[in-house]
Amino acid sequence: MYSDDWAANLVGLDIHSTNEVRPPWQRLSPGDRVVVVPERYAGMPSGYAFRVAHVDPPRTLVLRQSPPEHPWNGVWSFHVLPCPDGTSRLLARSRTETPDSRALRLATRLGEPVTLVMTRRMLRGIRLRAERASVRNSVP
């Protein structure tokens, strides 16, 4: 997820971000799973993954979670916006429907700050890798 591996690994996720673009990971289609929690973690046999709802390379990626596969009903989207100076901007947006269950509402509220911090770190990680790649590609 290009975030802080140490934070994810602190809770036993065993995540290792890459510092390079991996061609097989660049071909997503609607219905594909984007795994964010590995199989068998915390009693989840299939892990936790979002389904690709929409992809328009290289501009947009929309991920979806919904019942019955997930307790939450929401979307997480990423949008690359070109800027007038030739650079681009990556925006991440998420929206989750408020669950009916009191326990899920509490879990949602407790998870929001973690999601905010990890998303910010992920975006910064992507920026760092993009800037590094840009410098490598511009060196004669």
Four-point Cα dihedral 126, 37, 7, 131, nearest 10: -10
Tens-digit pLDDT profile for residues 81-122: 999 999 899 999 999 887 888 998 898 888 888 888 888 988
pTM passes above 0.85: no
Query: pLDDT tens digits for 35-67?
Result: 887 776 666 667 788 999 999 998 999 999 998
Cα 124 to Cα 20, 67, 87, 130, 140, distances in angstroms = 15, 31, 16, 10, 27
Q: How big is the chain, counted in residues?
A: 140
